[in-house]
A and B are shown apart, each in its own frame.
Chain A
Amino acid sequence: MTNGGGDGALGSSVAQTGVWIGIGTIAMSFAALTSALVVRQSGAPDWHHLQLPALLYVNTLVLLGSSVTLEWARRRQAPLALHLTIALGVMFVVGQILAWRQLIAQQQSLASGPSSAFFYVFTALHAMHVLGGVAGLTYVERRMTAGGVPPGTYKAAALYWHFMAVLWLYLLLLLTIRA
């Protein structure tokens, strides 16, 4: 970010500014959904506590692991670790889908109650944002093989990816306490 007048050059920080703004927006959306959950739960006689599938904790480790491998890839210039990050990201989404299937097998679908409805809305929206991150990292990967990626862009993609992990930890906490 430039202060007190731009330097006239298209700085590498633009991508990071964009991601920070995106993070603010996404955080606001999830804050709105959180307040909706609190309001919906407070006035409802039909709220039943949802038993979260244990698989979610495995998925959590996968996503946190991908953040570690991404930092490894960035700091040690290790392309293999970047491949691994993307693979772990995809694995996380697959794991989430498996968790949904487990819940559906227990007759906990989107329409069966407010707690499961919020569970699906939160996890599905988060998974879509993770897929966006996977697309971003794939773009970085392709740029690297094509000859190099600006460090600002790489950093911006990493910033977004770490935010996905932080957001997931928040959602897991919220769903454990509330849903």
Chain B
Amino acid sequence: MTHTTAHPPAHAQRQSFLRKHVFSVDHKVIGRQYLDLALVAVVTGMVLSWLMRFHLGWPDTPVPLLGKLAPTGAAGGVMTPEYYLELMTMHGTIMVFFVLTTAPFAGFGNYFLPIHVGAEDMAFPRINMMSFWVTLLAFLVLVAAFFVGDGPPLSGWTAYAPLSAVGKDAGPGQGSGQTLWAISIAIFCIAQLLGSLNFIATTLDLRTKGMSLARLPYATWAWFVTAVIALVAFAVLLPACILLILDRVAGTSFFIPGGLVISDRLQPHMGGSPLLWQHLFWFFGHPEVYVAILPGFGIISQILPVFARKPLLGPRVFIACLVAIAFLSYTVWGHHMFLSGMNPFSATLFSVPTLVITIPAAIITLLWIGTVYGARLRLTSASLFALGFVSVFVSGGISGFFLAQPSTDIYLHGTYFVVAHFHFVMGVAAMFGIFAGTYFWFPKMFGRMMSETLGKWHFWLTFIGVYCIFMPMHYLGLAGNVRRYSAFTDDYLQPLIPLHRFITIAALFTGAVQLIFLFNLIRSRLRGPKAADNPWEATTLEWSTSSPPPHDNFGGRRPTVAYGPNEYGVAGPAGRDYVMQAAAQ
């Protein structure tokens, strides 16, 4: 067993406050900074969704505070259709980039990947620090769009050209707001490239003695594969954003066709291809949804065996499936564009790998179910959220079969069916992964336990809440309810308004339930009972060191690894049913 006494090395004590807590090169501080940023972002994104949901349910009822905050977008507290789209754009952008990418990948990955491989820090600590501050800069640039010009952009998180490319003629927020959006995302790409570079180099080069690739914990496998996906995906989005910025500010015509008249003005561009933006964007965009969800796969695969007290079923199959998903994620982007006008042959070409990619995803789901099957599962907040992850991932995944086929997708693509699909399979599932990771690792990160009672209340109310929000949206979509519209008052969709109100109430309720989580986070941080080094009886290296780990993770000595991460339900030393990775052979 690796010794657990913490002797902070001399250089850790000499650091100034600023170097230690703010501009730190310690991967643990950087990981927490990412998680803090994601927390701010998720609250912002959730409030935006509340405003949108309230408007959908009661489009004529004013929200007085909103009227004061956005006097042009919501004069008198009732938002304009354009302002609805602006909120939608910011909600999507903030959630996808600054929550679903930032928390499970950059946040938890930064904190635990180096510890999992037995390293003192990332391969390039300064680059690591830079990647966080660049991410924060990207967030500030994006949020600045609320405060400058005529507000944030309205072209959605996908920023389809030419709407996103022509400038202020295209509507409110399409001037400076859209430019800030493009700059923010370009900056974010740079941050993610720097971060992913570190993840890959650390996993390849800094593994401690005995830590073969086969012995890597599953979360770290997932972060590693995710980093490879992110590297290729953001390397494409970055030049795409540069071309978009040039179209907007330098008069080029990469994405803007000729003869385009917008707001009665002939646009001074010619020859550009709007579909080119869609291809570049979705070549990034589809792998990006795997960047959001694969870390959750890893976290769940690490958590379920701990609480099932059984090894993960088929660990090699799990890793093979991760790699297969990573590869296939680059072959399916066209399924986002069935409606954009596509040769039916190309549509088939994109449809087939989209259906094929469900095979490794389904295999992984079966491995999870097989792992907990017949187990005496310890029901904790972490294991509940892990099971909840499997549930919402399956619920969201099944609707994917319908969307993968052009014939059904053409009917469903513009409707709430798609909203339900991607929120379940990527949004809620990834959030459940974040929650599971938080309840699981909080004791290690802060040396204190979270309240299990509050955690379980949080789980059950959230679990019921998200099903109440997103299940009915499938029905809305099948009934032909288009998405992106701000209201349905004088419309053939009027009979569906009661259902919209139900969803809105469920969304407000589920959002309010998150206050339990916030309260639990803050109270446990200050007053939670002290956590032992290994409260969950887990095997991986982070549980061999103190809670929280010392500055250099293992107190001056690097552990030697003799076992895989999957030694549960075995006859371990001292009557335990597990063997830690760092246990003496």
Contacts and interface: CB of A to CB of B under 8 A. Distances in A.
Interface in B183-214: 193, 197, 200-201, 204-213
A148 interface: no
Interface residues of B, number: 47
A6 B208 contact: yes
A46 B257 CA distance: 11
A39 B231 contact: no
B271 A44 contact: yes
Given A29-B239, A45-B271, A21 B231 contact: yes
B339 to A, nearest CB: 19
Contacts of A25: 193, 197, 231-232, 235
Contact of A110 (B204, B208, B246, B279): B246
Interface in A120-154: 121, 125
25 contacts: A1-B204, A5-B209, A5-B210, A5-B212, A6-B207, A6-B209, A8-B208, A11-B205, A14-B124, A17-B204, A17-B205, A21-B197, A24-B231, A28-B236, A29-B238, A32-B236, A33-B239, A40-B254, A40-B272, A40-B273, A43-B273, A46-B258, A46-B270, A111-B252, A125-B242
Given A17-B205, A25-B197, 19 more contacts: A5-B207, A6-B206, A8-B558, A14-B124, A18-B124, A21-B201, A25-B193, A28-B231, A29-B239, A32-B239, A32-B283, A39-B276, A39-B279, A40-B254, A46-B271, A110-B246, A111-B251, A114-B253, A121-B246
A47 interface: yes
A13 interface: yes
Interface in B34-64: none
Contacts of B231: 21, 24-25, 28
A18 B197 contact: yes
A117 B197 contact: no
Contacts of A8: 208-209, 558, 560
A10 interface: yes
Interface of A: 1-2, 4-8, 10-11, 13-14, 17-18, 21-22, 24-26, 28-30, 32-33, 35-36, 39-40, 43-47, 110-111, 114, 117, 121, 125
Interface string B250-288: 111110001000000000001111011001100100000
Nearest to B242: A121
B250 A110 contact: yes
Interface in B223-255: 231-232, 235-236, 238-240, 242-243, 246, 250-254
Nearest to A25: B235
Nearest to B121: A10
A40 B276 contact: yes
B306 interface: no
Contacts of B386: none
A117 B205 contact: no
Contacts of B252: 110-111, 114, 117
Contacts of A32: 235-236, 239-240, 280, 283
A18 B201 contact: yes
Contacts of B235: 25-26, 28-29, 32
Contacts, number: 124
Contacts of B136: none
A13 to B, nearest CB: 6
A24 B193 CA distance: 11
B88 interface: no
Contacts of B291: none
A contact patch SS: helix
A14 B121 CA distance: 13
B236 A17 contact: no
A47 to B, nearest CB: 7
Given A29-B235, A36-B276, A39-B276, A4 B212 contact: yes
Given A32-B280, A46-B271, A18 B254 contact: no
A39 B257 CA distance: 13
Given A29-B235, A32-B235, A2 B204 contact: yes
Contact of A22 (B197, B239, B271, B280): B197
A179 to B, nearest CB: 14
Interface string B107-128: 0000000000110000110000
Nearest to B189: A29
Nearest to A124: B242
A4 B251 CA distance: 53
A6 B211 contact: yes
Nearest to A32: B236
B246 A17 contact: no
A9 B300 CA distance: 31
A30 B208 CA distance: 35
A111 B200 CA distance: 39
Contacts of A43: 271, 273
Nearest to A11: B205
A88 to B, nearest CB: 27
Return the 6 tightest CB-CB contacts between A and B, nearest first: A111-B251, A6-B207, A28-B235, A44-B271, A46-B271, A32-B236
A44 B243 CA distance: 17
A7 B209 CA distance: 5
Nearest to B560: A8
B123 A117 contact: no
Contacts of A121: 239, 242-243, 246
Given A5-B207, A7-B209, A40-B254, A17 B276 contact: no
B580 to A, nearest CB: 17
Contact of B280 (A4, A18, A36): A36
Contacts of A5: 207-212, 215, 561
A117 B207 contact: no
A111 B251 CA distance: 5
Given A110-B251, A111-B251, A17 B123 contact: yes
A5 B243 CA distance: 43
A25 B193 CA distance: 8
B7 to A, nearest CB: 19
B25 to A, nearest CB: 14
Q: Which of B117, B239, B270, B560 has the most CB of A within 10 A?
A: B239
Contacts of A44: 271-273
